[in-house]
Amino acid sequence: MSRPHSRGGRRWFLSRTAAAGAVLFATRGAFAEELARTPKQTEGPFYPDKLPLDTDNDLLVINDALTPAVGEVAHLTGKILDAKGNPLKNAVVEIWQCDGNGVYLHTADSKNKKPDANFQGFGRFVTGSKGEYYFRTIKPVPYPGRTPHIHVKVKQGGKELLATQLYIKGHAGNEKDGIYRSLKGKDRDALSVEFAAVKESKVGELAANFDVVLGITPAE
């Protein structure tokens, strides 16, 4: 379910992320009571009505295809935590988003459009012992009537724990999006994510981090 992708740079990227996570967990006791819960957002109409055969965490390549999806490569990482900063391991993280042409993996959206046949559109990852997850996808693009966003859902034991959306921090389309505008203050900050250039990348890859804080106590 969470089959990793071994293409160039991924191991380096994850090692840097793990190092940053070590600092977080070493100091979480100092602010454990201050973590704000990640706000819920509408699931939207285009959660895939038929899951693809490939549902791993690399949305740029379907199975063993040679042609990648069109778009800016983005490495999306983060952790699933409870309100005290404890990690939630063995949680299923799902993401879905429209492709570079603005088309979702859903028959109601793709039947009269030209989807990118090389974009997976949906992926899953099972969190590790520190609650960490990783996806390789594209930087989200605008969808008609919506600012760029990625849908995120967290499940465990067959139970849905949270459905939300993440947005590109500072994107010009955010203030024109009704769902984004409904967010206020810290809730808006919690779902606004910076997509920063990966310095060592020669092909313009981006990195984004999105931690999810749930209002539950992790199971032992």
Amino acid at 83: A
Q: Is residue 206 part of a domain?
A: yes
**Alpha-carbon 90 to chain mean position:** 16
Distance CA 4, CA 124 (A): 11
Q: Is residue 76 part of a domain?
A: yes
Q: Is residue 5 part of a domain?
A: no
Amino acid at 81: L
Distance CA 205, CA 138 (A): 9
Q: Is residue 220 part of a domain?
A: no
Predicted pLDDT of residue 85: 94
What is the Rg, in whole angstroms, of the alpha carbon atoms belonging to the chain? 17
Q: Is residue 77 part of a domain?
A: yes
The CATH number assigned to the domain holding 87 equals 2.60.130.10
The closest alpha carbon to 94, from 129, 120, 67, 71, belongs to 120
Model pLDDT for residues 32-89, shown as the tens digit of each residue: 466 899 999 999 999 999 988 899 999 999 988 889 999 999 999 999 999 999 999 9
- pLDDT band per the 50, 70, 90 thresholds, residue 28: very low
Lowest-pLDDT range, 4-13, 32-41, 198-207?
A: 4-13
How many folded domains does the chain comprise?
1
pLDDT cut 70: percent of the chain above it: 83
Model pLDDT for residues 108-137, shown as the tens digit of each residue: 998 889 999 999 999 999 999 999 999 999
Predicted pLDDT of residue 132: 98
Q: Is residue 50 part of a domain?
A: yes
Domain span including residue 59: 10-214
> Higher-confidence residue: 28 or 67?
67
Q: Cβ distance 24 to 102 under 8 Å?
A: no
Q: Is residue 22's pLDDT more than 70?
A: no
Q: Is residue 219 part of a domain?
A: no
Q: Is residue 20's pLDDT more than 60?
A: no
Report the DSSP beta bridge partners of residue 126: 92
